[in-house]
Amino acid sequence: MEYATLGNSGIQVSKICLGTMTFGEQNTEAEGHEQMDYALSQGIHFFDTAEMYSVPARKETQGSTERILGTWFRSRKNRDQIVLATKITGPSPTFQFLRDPLNYSAAQIREALEGSLTRLQTDYVDLYQLHWPERKMNMFGKRGFEYDPSDSWTDNFHDVIRTMDALIREGKIRTWGVSNENPWGLMRMLHLADLHGLPRPVSIQNPYSLLNRLFEVGLAEVSVREQAGLLAYSPMAFGVLSGKYDDDQADVSASRLTLFKQYGRYSGPSTREAAREYVRIAKEAGLLPSQMALAFVNSRPFVTSNIIGATTMPQLKENIESIRVALSPDVLRAIEDVYSRIPDPAP
């Protein structure tokens, strides 16, 4: 395994992170424990979760993923071996069963964190993240920013950062980061943290894959120059980049895109067309499509860690092995050729 540092925190994390959002929905507790055991045996000590998981999020299963991690920590007695990341849920009418209204006030951050700590059976979180912005902006498949004069959000970043500082001082979190953010939001928070001598966000967890490289447009330079590296999520685009949806022999009956039709972000015709091209490149180079897709993400200089997720052990093992794959100049040129023709079909 390879390792990198979370921003300026000094915390070392594995370049591959175990994503756990299937635990409690597509994976049982026993299967989740098996995945974590195997990941740790392969040098992966960075696990990511969120208070709203499992996915798709619903009241009946909310918090189930954190609870499965908690029972694993209790049974294995290895909390100190893991760099643990979780997230507070942002405003959304879908999640009002959590708190109503949802926001990032100091009271709600503390309430959400205490809930996570209880479910995780720990007294601290290594990386605490804002799952998505409070303000109205372009995220979750929306390409461009459209100003909405009815947006009632006012800039509360300073208060949020002060709350994170207090939690760090209390020993409840070690550091903090953002997710589904854009360049303005990340730079604004970095600026305010520096201006007031407060802890900076050390990471940004955004989508990034061969089918969505929009991070490169405005955020990649910020990540590199400001030491706020990308924690790349959906690097396999919900499995589309494995090629299984175009394989007549593959059983996709239990896959996310089959079970959960709401994830149309990765199902459009241009997305499938681009995926077929990337699968072709991999096969011509003698590579597994999944490993080529993940190796591409692993190789980007702005990526701190690549968040993989799997529902079966063979998938997990295949994904982890991507850390050993180095893409040749010919493969990288072929990838860029497809990207120039079909850029970012799954934003």
Helices (H), 16-175: 29-41, 64-76, 106-120, 157-169
In this structure, the chain runs to a length of 347
The helix or strand, by DSSP H or E, that contains position 156, with its residue range, turns out to be none
| Residue 69: Cβ within 10 Å count | 30
Q: Residue 132: helix, strand or coil by DSSP?
A: coil
Helix 106-120 crosses helix 157-169 at what angle (to 10 degrees)? 40
**Angle made by CA atoms 342, 131, 302, in degrees to the nearest 5:** 50
Q: How far apart are CA 311 and CA 236, in angstroms?
A: 13
Amino acid identity, position 114? E
Q: Show which residues are catalytic.
A: 53
Q: How far apart are CA 230 and CA 64, in angstroms?
A: 26
The helix or strand, by DSSP H or E, that contains position 87, with its residue range, turns out to be strand 83-88
Q: How far apart are CA 52 and CA 217, in angstroms?
A: 29
